[in-house]
Structure 1
Amino acid sequence: MHKPTPHAAPTGSAAAVVLAAGADAESRALLTSTLGDATVVQLALANVRAVLPADRIVVVVAEGDTEIRALLGDDLTYVEQDAPLGTGHALTCARNAIPADTSALLVAYADTPLLRPESLRGLLNRHDLLGADLALLTAVVEQPLPYGRVARDEAGHITAIIERSDLTDATGDAHEINVGAYAAAPATILAEVDALAGAGEHRLTVAVRRLIGDGAKVVTYKIVDTDEVQGINSRDELDTAADIVLRRLFMPRKNTDTHIVFGTGGWRAVIGEGYTLGNVRKLCQAIANEATRKGIDHLGVVIGGDRRFLSRESAEAAAEVFAGNNIPVTLLPDDVPTPLVTFAAPYLGAAYGIIITSSHNPPEWNGMKVFRADGSLPLDDETDRFQDEANELRAADVITLDLALARRTGVVVDRTLTEPYVDAIEKIIDVDAVRGSGLRVVVDPMYGTSQLTLGTILTDMRVRAEFIHASHNPLFGGVAPAPDLERLSALIQMIRNGDGRYDLGMATDGDSDRIGIVDETGEYISTNDLLLLLYWYLHEVRGEKGGVVRNIATTHLLDRLAAHFGEESAECKVGFKHVTAGMEKIGAVLGGESSGGLTIRGWILGKDGIFACALVAEMLARTGKRISELREMIYEITGRLYTAEAGVPATPDMRIAVPRRLAATPLTHVGPYPVVGVDHTDGTKILLENDNWALLRFSGTEPVLRMFVEADTPEKATELMDWLKGFVTA
């Protein structure tokens, strides 16, 4: 009878043996097959590497194998199994390579690449905490799988592992399976394997069954995500695993791994999870390193923060990092709008402008936007370098200088740039024209950062402005600060209740780079319509000739208006950096996106809700017309198209199914309407006759599938949207 060994507090540490020799050439070929963006064996080892350092991992490969070594790298320890006698024999081949101080040995298979690192860590943890001789990784499943079943007594203790071939009617209902990863003291498991080898038995599972039968203390760590159980023993199983990898790729996460990931508008994450001061410091260190490598560090950086939780603390932490890297810092005060930082970078000649914000995201988020010296957003290759380097850095790699010392020595200079920013806007806006107009407006900053700057501009223009939601409230009234129809109900109601007292309602989002407009009747004016009005105004009233740039989800009426003017129009991907790049390419006078961002030629290379509000006021003053009148006048030129937008949660299964369905389905008609073209530049845009279209696009910043349509009539727009919804949920 086996006598469990007493367990004191471990004096050594854990190590791992990964069995990657395979039973034959076919199984080894599966290990080196592509799965997602890696191979099966690479994914399996990546999970083990996430738990243990490379110098504590031993990989057993087949005799003469070089392919797996080449895939995994030379930082691991390799041993060869000279003959494929079995998994127990493979483990004994690793005996002399296991570190001598190993207290707990993790044994895993290279053909189970879907195990999560958390499961392996949980297995080792339970082995240690419960003083077990052996810990098993198990799972409760409903479908039949080729794994041994775990049998327990009434007290819940494991009494046996029953191989599938031995199952009888009495045991066939058992659903807890032995996944095939183990944790044990090396001497314990190797002693059992050696004892069996003398009898010609070389299977590791038999050694495990023997330990259980001898009364060893055996504990389990249960997997609840049964996708982890999927092994790779055939091409069909490889295909199944590929679908699981895709689902995981698209699974909504809260950034609990703390990795920094840039989206279309900077880095954003949930506060306390992905968004931490530690990550802020690492990202700033990566940007500082880039500035130093480029030789632009002497130009310094300008840093500001919005009204969100941790924004001020983050701005100061960022300043300490750049100061620690001998990079001069201009630190802006509290409540800084994003467009002011976009303006400040070229105004000061700084290498980078940095704003702590997550724009219109919900209150529990924060993030960072980075602007280049000209005020433009970095393109993907540059932000990829930032995030990749930041994610490789340790806390000890970050160089800082205490903020108080940095201020005393002049490395960090506190400065307010509200006045230069406002002055720059007022040089472009016809302030005198607005002063005599008697405009009356209601402004909703949505508890964001536009009150000071926009309020100053409106005061200078003698506009009678009333502000709502202007206090400092980092909860933003409990909603995401996005200036859309759904969230501007208070502004709309105030104008409707004003009995004609107001000419206009204005709104900006949380960091003031997006605009929302409500006309004198209390009707919400879509950004699509606003862009039409402003393009007409710039071209026909201000005499600023040039084309227009819109993103792929913005109205085609802009193209019609450009054609009417004899000007060029251009379409680009979602992301304002693509809008400004397109404007530069064709010399456009206006660039915008349906989500509320716009800028004009001669202003900053980023969207600016504050400037846009001032431009709308100028348009009303100089034309002497109301928004509703201007809109009807433009429709006389362009005709009318009706837009609709919807979003559905982008489940991992949908992320797989929708692209496959699009690839497999010939898109000849959307309902009864013939398709004239399909564009896959950014999502899938289905082009119909007469500038009608439908767009499917997975969001780059949140787990949502967005759907947009534009059609001749509201009824047709509804019909197209219903078709899209049916397509994605079929």
Structure 2
Amino acid sequence: MIKFGTSGWRAVMGEEFTFGNVRIVVQAVANYLKQRFPGRTITVLVNYDTRFLSERFANEAAKILSHNQIHVLLADRDAPAQAQALQIIKRKAQAGINFTASFNPPEYNGLKLNIETGAPALPSETDKVEEEARRLARAPIFNPYYPRPEFVQEIDLQSDYLEFLQKKIDFASIRKSRLRIGVDLLYGTSREYLDEILEDNGIPIEEIHGYVDPYFGGITPSCSEQNLRELGRLIREKKCGLGIATDADGDRFGILDQNGRFIVQNIILALLLDYLVRVKGWRGGVARSVSTTHLIDRVARRFSLPLFKTPVGFKYMAELFLRKQIIFGGEESACIAVKSHLPEKDGIFAGLLVAEMIAATRLNLTELRQHFFRRYGKKYSGQKSVPLHSKSERALNDLVIAPPEHFGGRRVLAVERIDGIKFDFEDDDWLLLRLSGTEPLIRCYAEAESKADLEKLLRLGVKRLD
């Protein structure tokens, strides 16, 4: 069944994600756009990542759209999702289609829909596309062999994005600090983006995995601690002061310190918010998803900043960004929103902002964390997953309907149903259980004052689903 989740429609290639189903979904998008913009010239930007067949899927989409007399701006090579968002805004396109499964395993592919603002489509839009796809699936879809060339134009996404990024980061401070940066491009779309802008600004880098491999070196193309061990070794060997990694479509980040140690994204988000507010003097609303660290809350409380909570999915944060309600937003899955940037996740920008923070404060990441914990206290966060089946789904639904007043001997101070069910305890500790929007799993997230309390909460959460 074709279903848009947290970040687009994702499925295993050759099973659900087939050329036939792609044609159905693209035609459904075309029909939706023609209904939404009646009588207007419609332009769609089509992009893709480095996965197996992504370019073929993009070309197939261009064929379908061109035969619908929709103008197609086709990326001339695989490109980061945020570079696509910038072009949607600049060229006033009505939508963008990106063939990517982001950090999912290599056997997956996906189709992500962005709207005319450059932001990811909300459920109110993708629900209509799904409904149209179900209708179209009842009969054969027209399958053109050639595109209509008068409706297809190849464009470069790199140059405008790098020019845009040049104005957002203090590269002079990074260069002056003599910070050497280790870069892991994870075989993805950030090659000749992240590495190129650093080199163009005279910042020394050491780079790995800057080439296309649809198997991603035999790993999942996510910026996890396990996947970035090779980057850690590179940092130690080349004496780098920072490590930056991006995932397959360049919109998520991973950060390693000067010792090659992985820093969890929740900590990076909290450090960046503190830097922007305390050092750069920014003021305004702050957002976090329901699964993100409450260290964000502590910084917001310290500076009396309004706090917004969203379901998991950057599209909800992008909505607040577009309304100019927030100066900063973060998701524990390595997503960041910052005022006057883009309404799309940007792992390249996030990594560069960390480099700017190190240069501006003249502190390495170990020192930055120590200073932060002295101001706000320390929290430990983690996640486990449980396979989704009838028993575990029923257990989750029962908790949502009738949540307990005590959990593992701890009094529940508040229950949130923004996305799944979340139990808030004393000291900003919490437990969240929710359906994954990208895989057949139930996610169990928790945060606590100690590692022991964290492990206990995660065990209790998993046990409740058994």
- 1:402 maps to which residue? 146
Residue 270 of structure 2: SS of its match in structure 1? Answer: helix
Paired residue for 1:270? 12
Which residues of 2 match residues 600-679 of structure 1 at below 5 A?
Answer: 600-660=338-398, 663-664=401-402, 667-679=404-416
Within 2, Cα distance between the matches of 1:295 and 1:673? 53
Is 1:369 matched with 2:112? Answer: yes
User: 1:392 matched to which residue of 2?
Assistant: 135
The 8 Å contact of residues 507 and 516 in structure 1, kept in 2 or not, is answered as: yes
- Partners of 2:183 and 2:423 lie apart in 1 by 38
Q: 1:508 is aligned with what amino acid? A: T
Letter in 2 for 1:554: T
State whether structure 2 residue 88 is matched by structure 1 residue 358: no
> Where does 1:399-548 land on structure 2 (aligned, <5 Å)?
400=144, 402-403=146-147, 406-407=148-149, 409=150, 411-498=151-238, 501-548=239-286
SS in 2 for 1:371: strand
CA distance in 1, matches of 2:380, 2:407: 17
Please report how far the alpha carbon of residue 648 of structure 1 lies from its aligned counterpart in structure 2 after TM superposition: 2.0
Q: Is the 8 A contact 1:285 1:399 kept in 2?
A: no
> Matched residue of 1:480: which SS?
coil
What is the rounded CA distance, in whole Å, between the counterparts of 1:496 and 1:345 in structure 2?
Answer: 40
Matches within 5 A, 1:296-307: 297-307=40-50
The CA distance in 1 between the partners of 2:258 and 2:41, in whole Å, is: 50
SS at match of 1:487: coil
**Are the counterparts in 1 of residues 23 and 141 from structure 2 also a CA contact under 8 Å?**
no
Alpha-carbon offset, residue 651 of structure 1: 2.5
Counterpart-to-counterpart distance in 2, 1:539 and 1:472: 38
Kindly indicate whether the alpha-carbon contact (under 8 Å) linking 1:505 and 1:517 is maintained by their aligned counterparts in 2: yes
TM superposition shift of 1:604: 0.9
Give the 3-state SS of the residue equivalent to 2:244 in structure 1.
strand
Distance across 2 between alignment mates of 1:264 and 1:321: 25
Which residue pairs with 2:455 in the alignment? Answer: 718
Residue number in structure 1 paired with 2:24: 282
Q: How far does residue 401 in structure 1 lie from its aligned partner after superposition?
A: 7.5
* Mapping 1:111-260, distance limit 5 Å: 259-260=1-2
What is the CA–CA distance in structure 1 between the aligned matches of 2:78 and 2:400, rounded to whole Å?
A: 45
1:350-369 CA-to-partner distances (Å, cap 9, x unmatched) read 00111111111111111111
**Offset of residue 423 of structure 1:** 0.5
The separation in 2 between residues aligned to 1:272 and 1:570, in whole angstroms, is: 40
* 1:269 Cα deviation after fit: 1.2
Distance 1:661 1:634, change over 3 A: closer
1:253-301 deviation per Cα after TM superposition (whole angstroms, max 9, x unaligned): xxxxxx3211110011111121112222221211112222222651411
SS at match of 1:451: coil
Does residue 692 (structure 1) correspond to residue 429 (structure 2)? The answer is yes
Whole-Å separation in 2 of the counterparts to 1:533 and 1:320: 45
The match for 2:62 among 310, 319, 332 is 319
Using CA pairs under 8 Å that are at least 6 residues apart, name the structure with larger relative contact order, 1 or 2: 2
For 1:719 and 1:497, how far apart are their aligned partners in 2?
37
Residues in 1 aligned to 2:260 and 2:50: alpha-carbon distance in whole angstroms: 28
Asked if 1 retains the 8 angstrom alpha-carbon contact of 2:391 and 2:465, the reply is no
1:704 equivalent in alignment to 2:448 = no
Q: Which amino acid aligns with 1:435?
A: R
TM-superposed deviation, 1:544:
2.3
In structure 2, relative to structure 1, the CA distance for the partners of 1:710 and 1:318 (3 Å cut) is: same
Match in the other structure for 1:114: none
TM-superposed CA distance for 1:532, in Å, is 0.9
| Residue ranges of structure 2 left out of the alignment (5+ in a row) | none
Partners of 2:237 and 2:170 lie apart in 1 by: 30
User: Which amino acid letter does the alignment assign opposite residue 701 of structure 1?
Assistant: T
Alpha-carbon distance in 2 for matches of 1:372, 1:661: 35
Q: Name the TM-score, length of structure 1 as normaliser.
A: 0.62
Distance 2:316 2:204 in 1: 36
Amino acid at match of 2:10: R
Aligned with 1:701: secondary structure?
A: coil
Deviation at 1:497, TM superposition (A): 4.0
Cα deviation, residue 728, structure 1:
2.2
Which residue identity does 2:415 align to in structure 1? V
Asked whether the equivalents of residues 33 and 42 of structure 2 are also in contact (C-alpha less than 8 Å), the reply is no
Using the TM superposition, give the Cα deviation of residue 530 of structure 1 relative to its aligned residue in structure 2, in angstroms.
0.6
**Aligned partner of 1:412: which letter?**
V
Q: CA deviation at 1:585?
A: 5.1
Q: 2:46, 2:96 within 8 Å by CA — same for their partners in 1?
A: yes
Instruction: Give the Å deviation of 1:603.
Output: 0.9
Query: What is the deviation of 1:586?
Result: 6.6
After superposition, residues 103-114 of structure 1 pair within 5 angstroms as none
What does residue 35 of structure 2 align with?
293
Question: Normalising by the residue count of structure 2, what TM-score does the alignment of the two structures yield?
Answer: 0.95
Shift of 1:397: 4.3
Matching residue of 2:420: 683
- Any idea what the Cα deviations from partners look like across 1:301-339, whole Å, max 9, x if unmatched? 111111111111111111111111111111112221111
Residue 336 (structure 2) pairs with residue 593 (structure 1):
no
For 1:310, give the aligned amino acid.
L
- Counterparts of 2:399 and 2:168 in 1: how far apart (Å)? 49
Quote the residue 2:81 is aligned against.
Answer: 338
- For 1:419 and 1:585, the matched residues in 2 are separated by 28
User: 1:324–1:401: 8 Å Cα contact kept in structure 2?
Assistant: no
Deviation at 1:652, TM superposition (A): 2.2
Residue 627 of structure 1 deviates from its aligned partner by 1.2
Q: Secondary structure in 1 aligned to 2:181?
A: strand
The letter of the residue matching 1:416 is D
Which has the higher Rg, Structure 1 or Structure 2?
1
Please give the secondary structure, in 2, of the residue aligned with 1:720. helix
* Residue identity in the other structure for 2:366: S
Structure 1 residue 611: deviation in Å? 1.3
**Residue 176 of structure 1 corresponds to which residue in structure 2?**
none
Contact 1:322 1:400 in 2 (8 A): no
User: How far off its partner does 1:662 sit?
Assistant: 5.6
Match of 1:555 in 2: 293
Between 1:652-661 and 1:358-367, the stretch displaced more is 652-661
Question: Where does residue 348 of structure 1 map in the other structure?
Answer: 91
**Alpha-carbon contact 2:102-2:247 (below 8 Å) kept:** yes
Q: For 1:436, what is the secondary structure of its paired residue?
A: helix
Whether the 8 Å CA contact 2:106–2:215 is kept in 1: the answer is: yes
Point out where structure 1 has 5 or more consecutive residues left out of the alignment: 1-258
Deviation of the 1:661 alpha carbon: 5.2
Question: Could you list the per-position Cα deviations for residues 8-36 of structure 1 after superposition, in whole angstroms to 9, with x for gaps in the alignment?
Answer: xxxxxxxxxxxxxxxxxxxxxxxxxxxxx
AA at the equivalent of 1:694: L
Q: Secondary structure at the match of 1:278?
A: helix
| Larger displacement relative to structure 2 (540-549 or 505-514) | 540-549
For residues 143 and 441 of structure 2, what CA distance do their matches in structure 1 show? 38
1:584 Cα deviation after fit = 4.4
Q: How many Å apart are 1:399 and its aligned residue?
A: 7.1
CA distance in 2, matches of 1:374, 1:392: 27
Quote how far apart the aligned CAs of 1:613 are.
1.5
After superposition, the CA RMSD in angstroms is 1.8
Aligned length: 464
What is the CA distance between 1:420 and its match in structure 2? 0.4
In the superposition, relative to structure 1, how do residues 349 and 583 fare at CA in structure 2: closer, same or farther (>3 Å)?
closer
Note if contact 2:379-2:448 (Cα within 8 Å) is conserved in structure 1: yes
- Contact residue 79 and residue 157 of structure 2 kept, 8 A: no
Whole-Å separation in 2 of the counterparts to 1:398 and 1:624: 60
- SS of the residue aligned with 1:273? coil
One-letter code aligned to 2:259: T
In structure 2, distance between residues paired with 1:385 and 1:585: 23
SS of equivalent residue, structure 2 residue 391: helix
Percent identity reads: 38
